[in-house]
Structure 1
């Protein structure tokens, strides 16, 4: 398709990339049937596997197969693949404790605000939430 922009003529290549087929009839306009145009296939973009930002290697899709072989100047695959982190039970317990303390502190702040605004209905709901939080903590311990 020939196109022009500000007097510069060019050939559009976007129309040739996507093949379309006629679909269902949408309706009629001035006696002519209008069909829905559907793509025959949708092209899949290849993910960029080996990327580097400020000297740090990362991958947008670590499970994808490489579509090119990196040379010495590119990032090596070992730098891109995520490392497996082993989290011990003690660390999990510490994270859960910190999470519960953050929830409690947030809940206390919300209760103070509800009390200052004299919103007793919200205060009752927050007390129920605090009781549920205490029950959840007693079950884990």
Structure 2
């Protein structure tokens, strides 16, 4: 349908009719019966994105379909790529060391909680903490 707004012409695509379902609810408006209904399915447009997974480019459409766009050719490695890889490796080592320290801290805290639970004579808590200790090991 061709429309005009403030001197600008544009095309509007007709909206497909929605299938309606009777809700079973009946109301009264100005003395007349009013039957309520709701749509069977409300279409939700999906976002259109250009994405890449393992070197293969693809695009999603508004209807949720996926269109392959072929394999992506990667450019040659940048001269500083080796430095970036070394930096990432150093960060990984730091994260591994941090994980070890964190695990050690958790074990120390758990041991302290076990001592307190045993001193109080709380057998249920002692069993729970021992199970947690076996999971952490």
| Superposition TM-score, scaled by structure 2 size | 0.39
Higher-strand-fraction structure: 2
| Bigger RCO (CA 8 Å, 6+ sep) | 1
Larger Rg: 2
| Superposition TM-score, scaled by structure 1 size | 0.38
